Amino acid sequence: MKKINLLLLSATLMGGTFCACQQKDNTLSEAEIADGWELLFNGQDLSEWKNFNDTILSNGWSVVDGCIQASGEGGDASGYIVTKRKFADFELTWDWKLTHGGNSGMLYHVQEGSVFQVPYVTGPEYQLIDNEGWEEVNAPQKLEEWQKLGVDYAMHLPDASKMHVNPVGEWNTSRIVFDNGHVEHWLNGEKILEFECWTDDWFALKGSGKWANAPEYGLANSGLICLQDHGDPASFKNIKIKQLPHKGGQVESLFNGKDLTGWEPFGDGNWFVEDGNLVTQNGENRQYGYLCTRKYYKDFDLTVEFKEESNGNSGLFFHSFIEGFNTVHGWQCEVAPKGNDTGGIYESYGRGWLQQIPDEKEEILKVDDWNTLRLRVEGNHVQTWLNGEPMSDIEDELIGNTPGRLMLQMHDGCDIRVLWRNFQLTQL
């Protein structure tokens, strides 16, 4: 009898020890904390989240039994919540479950603003969907492969042999790794796909499918995390993120001296290579035109040489993006004839000049000769130099919070011809 009691006591103690070792939902272990993990949901409220393009939370999401729940009242144009903080390079894990036929998603690097009506025109998505159930509910419609569970939506497909999904109504665990352009999707402990952003293959894929008419899709290297209510109830818990170090110091030559690889045109203008120089000049209609980098650059130190061969107004835009393929939002380092503030900072958002140069510095610009322009952007801090002389130095929070492209501008109503060469950019 004593032996039996001792065995029972031992089993009870072992069971108690085992239960105590089970980590509670929506908490971090000491090891996770030491490793830099953070909770994006505390199991009690949605204090880390808000409506997309808003400052409040009011669109049907709630906390039920320690889970974030989508009401199922959303749709393609609504029902999105985003984190209040932005993230660049990270590892993100979360648990999720859907209802029969359910459709949802986890997006990242989402950009806000009146130009972007929905998150998915900027932010890539890890698709969450009940493949078979959705087709049953929506028969005779069929899902395309690029719409199914685990895909990088409308871009990259997972390895089907590694897709081990728990039945509808049970929890699954997913993970996204975004590490300086290297992306991985995981499902229930298996890596199901990986790819590199912003390569020639990536841009070819972007331009050949759903995102051909979404010029800013997937370009941002930082942004908001987003949960989608696509008209079906969905539940989420244990949403955790670990920020990864950004790998600065890379040096890029943005122009190869041969062709316009790495650039794409918008609006009205002529862009070509002549005698090893990149030439920008106005089109016949003399409307606005922009030659833009395909990639976003946030913190960088750029030097470039230019020579103006006409009296037209040009400029080097930065942290800028395209609306409707011909309208630009962002900031400009002015490049213009003498007397027009070359090296000054102008904003196209509506504030106009943020800093013009002193009159005595107008003589620094060389006429009919090559000039060297340097533009350094780090966080909110923007500095410019012309031929080695400092021109502008400002701090602006809106600039720091808005990533974007570099662009060469052709102003409207002008005869413009500017030669550019020796683009050297160091990412900070």
Residues 6+ apart with CB under 8 A from 281: 269, 270, 310, 410, 416, 417, 418
**Do residue 294 and residue 392 come from a single domain?**
yes
The mean-pLDDT minimum among 13-27, 163-177, 397-411 falls in: 13-27
Q: What is the pLDDT of residues 351-407, one digit of tens each?
A: 999 999 999 999 999 999 999 999 999 999 999 999 999 999 999 999 999 999 999
Task: Look at residue 412 and tell me whether its pLDDT is greater than 70.
Answer: yes
Q: Are residues 43 and 180 in the same domain?
A: yes
The CA distance from 253 to 269, in Å, is: 23
Write down the pLDDT at residue 327.
Answer: 84
User: Is 74 within 8 Å of 229 (Cβ atoms)?
Assistant: yes
Closest by alpha carbon to 415, among 286, 279, 307? 286
Q: What is the DSSP letter of 358?
A: P
Looking at the DSSP bridge assignments, the partners of residue 314 are 335, 410
DSSP state of 152: B
Confidence (pLDDT) at 21: 62
d(C-alpha 40, C-alpha 270), whole Å: 47
pLDDT over 50 at 53, yes or no: yes
pLDDT recorded at residue 7? 39
Residue 176: domain span: 31-243
Q: Are residues 308 and 415 in the same domain?
A: yes
Find tokens 């900031």 and name the residue: 331
Cβ neighbors of 144 (< 8 A, separation 6 or more) are: none
User: Looking at the predicted structure, is the pLDDT value of residue 26 above 90?
Assistant: yes
C-beta separation of 263 from 420 below 8 A: no
Q: In this predicted structure, what is the pLDDT of residue 2?
A: 38
pLDDT (0 to 100) of residue 312:
86
The model carries a pTM of 0.90
Nearest one of 136, 211, 205 to 168, comparing CA atoms = 136
Q: Please, what is the average pLDDT of the chain? A: 93
Regarding whether 266 and 237 lie in a shared domain, the answer is: no
**Does some domain include residue 220?**
yes
How far is it, in rounded angstroms, from Cα 178 to Cα 197? 9
Residue 413's pLDDT is what? 86
Residue 142 lies in a domain: yes
The CATH number for 287's domain is 2.60.120.560
* Cβ atoms of 425 and 254 closer than 8 Å: yes
Give the whole-angstrom CA distance, residue 222 versus residue 207. 21
The whole-angstrom separation of Cα 21 and Cα 18 is 5
| Same domain, residue pair 84 and 118 | yes
Burial 151-166 (b: 16+ CB within 10 A, else e): bbbbbbebeeeebeee
Q: 208, 243, 278 — which closes off a domain?
A: 243
Q: What is the pLDDT of residue 285?
A: 87
The model's pLDDT over 242-253, given as tens digits with 9 standing for 90+, comes to: 999 999 888 999
